[in-house]
Amino acid sequence: MSSRRLVTLSVNGREHEFDVLVHRPLLEVLREDLGLTGAKECCAVGECGACTVLVDGLTVNSCLMLAVEADNRQITTIEGLTPGESLSPLQDSFLAHGAVQCGFCIPGMIVSAQFLLDSNPSPTASEINEGLAGNLCRCGGYKRMLRAVEAITEPEA
Amino acid sequence: MRAFDYARPSTLVEAFELLSAPDGGVKALAGGTDLLVGLRNGAIRPRAVVDLKHIRELAPVIRADKECMSIGANAVLAQLTASEGLRRDYPALVESAAVVGSVQIRHRATLAGNLCNASPAADTVPALLAYGADVVIRGPSGERRVSVDNFVLGPRETVLTAGEIVTTIVLPTPKPGTGAAFARLTRRRGVDLAILSVCCLVDPEGEVRFGLGAVGPRPFLVRDSAAAVVSSTAAEQFAALVAKASPITDVRASHDYRQAMITVLARRTLAAAIERSSWVSP
Ligand SMILES: Cc1cc2nc3c(=O)[nH]c(=O)nc-3n(C[C@@H](O)[C@@H](O)[C@H](O)COP(=O)(O)OP(=O)(O)OC[C@H]3O[C@@H](n4cnc5c(N)ncnc54)[C@H](O)[C@@H]3O)c2cc1C
Ligand code: FES
Ligand code: FES
């Protein structure tokens, strides 16, 4: 039992050691201690998906995970999905389709959409909707996002 | 979030000790999708949480054994929906797991947590009831096994006593020719709790079982061994089903609407279950 714990977080391929207060959410450590402000806090209770990151390759709500639970696991944030100075094909497609309005939900949306495409390269429209159901957009740009994802799905062989 | 202590035991014995604190101020942590929400909004204020995810005996395995399927306590709902064995033999359980929260939630939420949290609206519980699942519990004084029907006592209340942990959920192999289906009503498609959820199971001899969620203080089971719901007395049978429910009015729906929808979802899931079964109605 302890209120602090030494943890190793591997974030976007780099290892970081922290002596962390055990009640701190992963999202808070990513944003405040590592300066990775792509993942956002909005609802803080798992409903909006603005805080979505990958842990060991699976999407999770980082507001509902303690940093200690991510000890020794591989974390990928939106920053890690963005290649250097350019954008990923999915990010380009979001821009090309006018799917980005205020932009607040976009980091989480892209992480979820990339996870969907990596696990299912040819999703149907309903699979895309289902795959993104955990990401809310307060600007309501869902149709354009759907098209942006559809545009880079691989046609069924 | 309020501060608390954290422990990460690797064996059940260590966990029993940590969780047996007499003041009840220590909580088990699985996927945290209920617990973290409670910690954040102050609904629960434990002194410490005990992370169960590194305990060997709770390994997230879904295993077909002789005449049953065992699901380890740390198995998450995304594993259930991907499991070939479950999709083949327990499709209604898979259907119920697939509607919980979102992809992100299903990557973290465990089946055991959905059950232990004891929400009247827990979506997987009606299916666990219909399939006749048992809960294997271990604690400081040994192991016991109770049916899901006897496990949940009421809202947020289970038979678990201090230090006890659910290790496995065991589903008996359905008789060949069994069909089952799950359906729920929500206000919107994504990330919403059930207004009502129903799982119907029909076995090859025609026994019909309904598991109902969100229309009483706990999900409950109604058995109809004479298949009366598909006979000339069907209307009476559905009325009897409705009479067993005690739905409330809340932000999601009114008492009257819930009550009216029980028959609708019961009929739909019954038709789907019969379709999937080998039973031929007389
Ligand atoms: C945004 C959101 C949407 C949701 N949508 C739905 C939905 O549509 N349908 C639905 O049914 N649920 C829904 N839920 C709740 C659902 O995610 C949980 O019920 C989940 O299944 C709980 O599992 P967990 O592993 O996260 O449990 P935790 O939150 O870790 O634990 C839940 C409770 O069970 C206890 N516990 C956990 N494991 C054990 C064990 N092995 N032995 C003893 N006690 C244990 C904990 O101490 C705690 O009291 C939603 C939650 C969120 C945040
Ligand atoms: S901030 Fe995490 S889901 Fe909304
Ligand atoms: S673009 Fe504004 S919240 Fe989605």
ipTM for this model: 0.97
**Which of A80, A113, A143 is a domain's end point?**
A80
Whether the per-residue pLDDT at B1 is higher than 90: the answer is no
Same domain, A18 and A76: yes
B225 CB-near residues (< 8 Å, 6+ apart): B207
Residue B235: burial class (beta carbons within 10 Å; 0-12, 13-18, 19+): exposed
Nearest chain B Cα distance for residue A137, angstroms: 13
Three-point CA angle B174, B177, B182, nearest 5°: 65
Nearest chain A Cα distance for residue B213, angstroms: 21
Tokens of B137: 């519990």
- B215-264 pLDDT, tens digit each: 999 999 999 888 878 877 778 888 888 888 999 998 889 999 999 999 99
User: Residues 67 to 96 of B: which have CB under 8 A from any A CB?
Assistant: 78
Whether the per-residue pLDDT at B29 is higher than 90: the answer is yes
A116 contact B CB<8A = yes
What's the average model confidence in pLDDT over A77-99? 95
Q: Do B105 and A45 touch (CB under 8 A)?
A: no
Q: Quote the radius of gyration of chain A (alpha carbons, Å).
A: 16
- A25-47 pLDDT, tens digit each: 999 999 999 999 999 999 999 99
In this predicted model, which residue has the larger pLDDT, B144 or B239? B144
Q: Name which of B2, B6, B19 to mutate to probe chain A: the one with the most chain A Cβ atoms within 10 A of its Cβ.
A: B6
Tokens of B255: 């008492």
Looking at domain B180-276, what is its CATH homologous superfamily?
A: CO dehydrogenase flavoprotein, C-terminal domain (3.30.390.50)
**Which of A80, A113, A130 is a domain's end point?**
A80
What's the average model confidence in pLDDT over B49-53? 98
In this structure, is residue A75 part of a structural domain? yes
B180 and B273 Cβ atoms separated by less than 8 Å: yes
What's the average model confidence in pLDDT over B193-207? 93
d(CA A32, CA A45): 19
Longest CA–CA span in chain A (Å) reads 54
CA dihedral (A117, A121, A127, A133) in degrees, to 10, reads 0
Q: Do A134 and B8 touch (CB under 8 A)?
A: no
Same domain, A73 and A94: no
Domain membership of residue A128 as a residue range: 89-151
The conformational region for residue B95 under phi > 0 = left, psi -120 to 50 = alpha, else beta, is alpha
Q: Where are the domains of chain B?
A: 5-50, 62-171, 180-276
Same domain, A73 and A96: no
Same domain, A10 and A75: yes
In this structure, is residue A144 part of a structural domain? yes
- Quick one: CATH architecture of B62-171? 2-Layer Sandwich (3.30)
pTM for the complete prediction?
Answer: 0.96
In this structure, is residue A157 part of a structural domain? no
Which residue in chain B is spatially nearest to A48 when comparing CA positions?
B191
Same domain, A99 and A137: yes
- pLDDT of B116: 98
d(CA B230, CA B267): 10
In this structure, is residue A49 part of a structural domain? yes
Quote the ligand 2 centre to A136 CA distance (angstroms).
9
Tokens of B258: 């819930």
User: Residues 18 to 37 of B: which have CB under 8 A from any A CB?
Assistant: 18, 32-33, 36-37
- pLDDT of A155: 77
The domain that contains A49 carries what CATH number?
3.10.20.30
Nearest alpha carbon to residue A2 among A26, A21, A18: A21
A45 contact B CB<8A = yes
In this structure, is residue A156 part of a structural domain? no
**Protein residue whose Cα sits closest to atom 3 of ligand 2:** A46
Same domain, A127 and A106: yes
Q: Do B1 and A45 touch (CB under 8 A)?
A: no
Tell me the percentage of chain B whose pLDDT exceeds 70.
100
Phi, psi dihedrals of residue B280, rounded to the nearest 5°: -110, 115
Nearest alpha carbon to residue B98 among B111, B85, B115, B116: B111
Same domain, A145 and A94: yes
Q: What is the DSSP string of chain A?
A: -BSEEEEEEEETTEEEEEEEETT-BHHHIIIIIS---SS--SSSSSSS-TTEEEETTEEEEGGGSBGGGGTT-EEE-HHHHS-TTS--HHHHHHHHTT--SS-TTHHHHHHHHHHHHHH-SS--HHHHHHHTTT---TT--HHHHHHHHHHTSPPP-
What's the one-letter identity of residue A86?
A: S
Whether the per-residue pLDDT at A157 is higher than 70: the answer is no
Can you state the percent helix, strand and coil of chain B, rounding each to 5? 35, 25, 40
Same domain, A46 and A103: no
Same domain, A137 and A76: no
Q: How many CB pairs under 8 A join A and B?
A: 92
d(CA B258, CA B121): 12
d(CA B125, CA B218): 9
Nearest alpha carbon to residue B76 among B68, B86, B64: B86
In this structure, is residue A121 part of a structural domain? yes
- A44-59 pLDDT, tens digit each: 999 999 999 999 999 9
Same domain, A75 and A94: no
Helix axes A142-151, A106-119, angle to 10 degrees: 40
Q: How many C-beta neighbours within 10 Å does residue B142 have?
A: 7
The domain that contains A146 carries what CATH number?
1.10.150.120
Q: pLDDT confidence of A147, banded at 50, 70, 90?
A: very high
Domains in chain A, number: 2
Over chain A, what is the mean pLDDT? 96
What's the average model confidence in pLDDT over A66-81? 98
**Which of A58, A80, A102 is a domain's end point?**
A80
- pLDDT of A156: 65
Over chain B, what is the mean pLDDT? 94
- B69-113 pLDDT, tens digit each: 999 999 999 999 999 999 999 999 999 999 999 999 999 999 999
Q: pLDDT confidence of B43, banded at 50, 70, 90?
A: very high
Same domain, A31 and A57: yes
- B150-192 pLDDT, tens digit each: 999 999 999 999 999 999 999 999 999 999 999 999 987 777 8
Quote the ligand 3 centre to A39 CA distance (angstroms).
13
